[in-house]
Protein backbone atom coordinates (compact mmCIF):
# COMPACT_ATOMS: atom_id res chain seq x y z
CA UNK A 1 0.00 0.00 0.00
CA UNK A 2 2.85 2.38 0.81
CA UNK A 3 4.40 1.76 -2.61
CA UNK A 4 1.08 2.63 -4.24
CA UNK A 5 0.78 5.81 -2.19
CA UNK A 6 4.30 6.87 -3.19
CA UNK A 7 3.57 6.22 -6.87
CA UNK A 8 0.29 8.14 -6.71
CA UNK A 9 1.94 11.06 -4.92
CA UNK A 10 4.74 11.11 -7.48
CA UNK A 11 2.23 10.98 -10.31
CA UNK A 12 0.21 13.81 -8.76
CA UNK A 13 3.31 15.99 -8.32
CA UNK A 14 4.37 15.29 -11.89
CA UNK A 15 0.88 16.16 -13.14
CA UNK A 16 1.05 19.50 -11.37
CA UNK A 17 4.47 20.17 -12.88
CA UNK A 18 3.21 19.29 -16.35
CA UNK A 19 0.16 21.50 -15.90
CA UNK A 20 2.40 24.38 -14.82
CA UNK A 21 4.52 24.30 -17.96
CA UNK A 22 3.44 26.79 -20.61
CA UNK A 23 3.53 24.31 -23.48
CA UNK A 24 5.16 21.16 -24.72
CA UNK A 25 7.75 21.92 -27.34
CA UNK A 26 9.50 19.25 -29.37
CA UNK A 27 12.92 18.18 -28.16
CA UNK A 28 15.19 17.94 -31.18
CA UNK A 29 18.43 17.12 -29.47
CA UNK A 30 19.39 13.87 -27.83
CA UNK A 31 16.56 11.60 -26.89
CA UNK A 32 15.99 10.83 -23.29
CA UNK A 33 13.43 9.33 -21.04
CA UNK A 34 11.10 12.26 -21.79
CA UNK A 35 9.70 12.07 -25.31
CA UNK A 36 9.06 15.03 -27.54
CA UNK A 37 5.55 16.25 -28.26
CA UNK A 38 3.49 14.20 -30.70
CA UNK A 39 3.37 15.28 -34.33
CA UNK A 40 0.86 18.01 -35.11
CA UNK A 41 -1.24 15.53 -37.08
CA UNK A 42 -2.05 13.69 -33.83
CA UNK A 43 -4.25 16.58 -32.73
CA UNK A 44 -6.43 16.46 -35.84
CA UNK A 45 -9.39 14.16 -35.86
CA UNK A 46 -13.08 13.68 -36.22
CA UNK A 47 -15.77 15.39 -34.20
CA UNK A 48 -16.15 12.22 -32.14
CA UNK A 49 -12.48 12.31 -31.22
CA UNK A 50 -12.80 15.96 -30.24
CA UNK A 51 -15.73 15.18 -27.95
CA UNK A 52 -13.78 12.40 -26.25
CA UNK A 53 -10.75 14.65 -25.84
CA UNK A 54 -12.79 17.42 -24.29
CA UNK A 55 -14.15 15.13 -21.57
CA UNK A 56 -10.76 13.70 -20.62
CA UNK A 57 -8.11 15.38 -18.55
CA UNK A 58 -5.16 15.84 -20.94
CA UNK A 59 -2.72 16.37 -18.08
CA UNK A 60 -3.51 13.03 -16.47
CA UNK A 61 -3.31 11.30 -19.87
CA UNK A 62 0.04 12.96 -20.55
CA UNK A 63 1.34 11.94 -17.12
CA UNK A 64 0.21 8.37 -17.69
CA UNK A 65 1.86 8.33 -21.13
CA UNK A 66 5.10 9.70 -19.69
CA UNK A 67 5.12 7.14 -16.89
CA UNK A 68 4.55 4.31 -19.36
CA UNK A 69 7.14 5.72 -21.77
CA UNK A 70 9.72 5.95 -18.99
CA UNK A 71 8.99 2.36 -17.97
CA UNK A 72 9.57 1.23 -21.56
CA UNK A 73 12.73 3.36 -21.73
CA UNK A 74 14.02 1.61 -18.61
CA UNK A 75 13.16 -1.76 -20.14
CA UNK A 76 15.31 -0.87 -23.14
CA UNK A 77 18.34 0.66 -21.45
CA UNK A 78 18.36 -0.76 -17.92
CA UNK A 79 16.94 -4.25 -18.44
CA UNK A 80 17.93 -4.64 -22.10
CA UNK A 81 14.74 -6.66 -22.59
CA UNK A 82 14.10 -5.48 -26.12
CA UNK A 83 11.14 -7.74 -26.93
CA UNK A 84 9.29 -6.57 -23.81
CA UNK A 85 10.19 -2.96 -24.59
CA UNK A 86 8.74 -3.25 -28.10
CA UNK A 87 5.46 -4.49 -26.63
CA UNK A 88 5.44 -1.67 -24.05
CA UNK A 89 6.21 0.99 -26.65
CA UNK A 90 3.59 -0.24 -29.10
CA UNK A 91 1.03 -0.38 -26.29
CA UNK A 92 1.48 3.37 -25.82
CA UNK A 93 -0.47 3.87 -29.03
CA UNK A 94 1.79 6.76 -30.03
CA UNK A 95 4.31 5.12 -32.28
CA UNK A 96 4.18 8.09 -34.64
CA UNK A 97 6.16 10.07 -32.08
CA UNK A 98 9.81 10.16 -33.07
CA UNK A 99 11.06 9.10 -29.63
CA UNK A 100 8.73 6.11 -29.48
CA UNK A 101 9.39 4.96 -33.06
CA UNK A 102 13.13 5.41 -32.56
CA UNK A 103 13.17 3.21 -29.45
CA UNK A 104 11.15 0.56 -31.26
CA UNK A 105 13.68 0.68 -34.10
CA UNK A 106 16.58 0.50 -31.66
CA UNK A 107 15.02 -2.50 -29.92
CA UNK A 108 14.51 -4.34 -33.20
CA UNK A 109 18.11 -3.56 -34.16
CA UNK A 110 19.34 -4.98 -30.87
CA UNK A 111 17.30 -8.12 -31.56
CA UNK A 112 19.00 -8.37 -34.96
CA UNK A 113 15.90 -7.63 -37.04
CA UNK A 114 17.48 -4.99 -39.27
CA UNK A 115 14.70 -4.76 -41.86
CA UNK A 116 12.03 -3.99 -39.28
CA UNK A 117 14.41 -1.71 -37.42
CA UNK A 118 14.94 0.32 -40.58
CA UNK A 119 11.19 0.77 -41.02
CA UNK A 120 10.89 2.20 -37.52
CA UNK A 121 13.88 4.53 -37.90
CA UNK A 122 12.39 5.90 -41.10
CA UNK A 123 9.04 6.31 -39.36
CA UNK A 124 10.74 8.28 -36.58
CA UNK A 125 12.45 10.56 -39.10
CA UNK A 126 9.19 11.08 -40.94
CA UNK A 127 7.63 12.22 -37.65
CA UNK A 128 10.58 14.48 -36.84
CA UNK A 129 13.29 14.98 -39.49
CA UNK A 130 15.45 16.78 -36.93
CA UNK A 131 15.39 13.99 -34.31
CA UNK A 132 19.09 13.71 -33.57
CA UNK A 133 18.95 10.44 -31.63
CA UNK A 134 17.27 8.74 -34.59
CA UNK A 135 19.94 10.03 -36.96
CA UNK A 136 22.52 8.59 -34.56
CA UNK A 137 20.88 5.19 -34.13
CA UNK A 138 20.07 4.89 -37.82
CA UNK A 139 23.68 5.84 -38.56
CA UNK A 140 24.85 3.06 -36.25
CA UNK A 141 22.47 0.76 -38.09
CA UNK A 142 24.18 1.83 -41.33
CA UNK A 143 27.62 1.06 -39.86
CA UNK A 144 26.46 -2.38 -38.75
CA UNK A 145 25.12 -3.03 -42.25
CA UNK A 146 28.43 -1.98 -43.81
CA UNK A 147 26.95 1.19 -45.34
CA UNK A 148 29.71 3.52 -44.27
CA UNK A 149 28.88 6.23 -46.82
CA UNK A 150 25.31 6.36 -45.56
CA UNK A 151 26.56 6.43 -41.97
CA UNK A 152 28.77 9.39 -42.90
CA UNK A 153 25.69 11.13 -44.29
CA UNK A 154 23.95 10.57 -40.97
CA UNK A 155 27.00 11.90 -39.13
CA UNK A 156 26.94 15.06 -41.26
CA UNK A 157 23.24 15.46 -40.54
CA UNK A 158 23.88 15.21 -36.80
CA UNK A 159 26.66 17.82 -37.09
CA UNK A 160 24.25 20.18 -38.80
CA UNK A 161 21.50 19.61 -36.24
CA UNK A 162 23.38 19.48 -32.95
CA UNK A 163 27.04 20.13 -33.63
CA UNK A 164 30.19 18.06 -33.45
CA UNK A 165 30.36 18.26 -29.66
CA UNK A 166 27.08 16.39 -29.15
CA UNK A 167 27.11 12.91 -27.67
CA UNK A 168 25.26 11.60 -30.72
CA UNK A 169 27.91 12.94 -33.09
CA UNK A 170 30.76 11.56 -30.98
CA UNK A 171 29.12 8.13 -30.72
CA UNK A 172 28.56 7.74 -34.45
CA UNK A 173 31.98 9.21 -35.28
CA UNK A 174 33.62 6.66 -32.96
CA UNK A 175 31.73 3.83 -34.65
CA UNK A 176 32.89 5.07 -38.05
CA UNK A 177 36.47 5.28 -36.81
CA UNK A 178 36.47 1.54 -36.04
CA UNK A 179 37.66 -0.79 -38.74
CA UNK A 180 34.77 -2.46 -40.60
CA UNK A 181 33.73 -5.72 -38.95
CA UNK A 182 35.58 -4.98 -35.71
CA UNK A 183 32.57 -5.57 -33.50
CA UNK A 184 29.14 -4.28 -32.61
CA UNK A 185 28.30 -0.62 -32.42
CA UNK A 186 25.92 0.99 -29.98
- Which tens digit of pLDDT belongs to each residue from 131-176? 999 999 999 999 999 999 999 999 999 999 999 999 999 999 999 9
Measuring CA to CA, which residue among 61, 120, 128 is closest to residue 86? 120
For residue 61, what pLDDT is reported?
77
Q: How many residues are given for the chain?
A: 186
**pTM for the structure as a whole:** 0.70
74-13-23 Cα angle (round to 5): 85
What stretches of the chain show up as alpha helix (H) in DSSP?
A: 2-20, 47-55, 58-77, 82-91, 98-110, 114-127, 132-144, 148-162, 167-177
Please state, in angstroms and rounded to a whole number, the distance separating the CA atoms of residues 18 and 35: 13
For residue 53, what pLDDT is reported?
42
Please state, in angstroms and rounded to a whole number, the distance separating the CA atoms of residues 16 and 7: 14
Q: Which residues of the chain have pLDDT under 50?
A: 20-30, 40-55
Please answer whether residues 168 and 132 qualify as being in contact, where contact means their C-beta atoms are separated by less than 8 angstroms. Answer: yes
Give the 3-state secondary structure of residue 60: helix
For residue 25, what pLDDT is reported?
33
Report CA torsion sign: 17, 18, 21, 25.
Answer: positive
Please state, in angstroms and rounded to a whole number, the distance separating the CA atoms of residues 98 and 141: 17
Phi-psi category of 182—alpha, beta or left, where left has phi over 0 and alpha has psi -120 to 50? alpha
Give the 3-state secondary structure of residue 42: helix
Amino acid sequence: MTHLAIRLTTLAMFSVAVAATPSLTPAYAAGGDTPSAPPASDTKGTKDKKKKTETRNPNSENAAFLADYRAAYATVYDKQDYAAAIAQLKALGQDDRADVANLIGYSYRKLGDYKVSQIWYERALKADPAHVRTWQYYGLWQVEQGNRDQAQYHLNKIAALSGKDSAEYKSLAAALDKAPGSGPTY
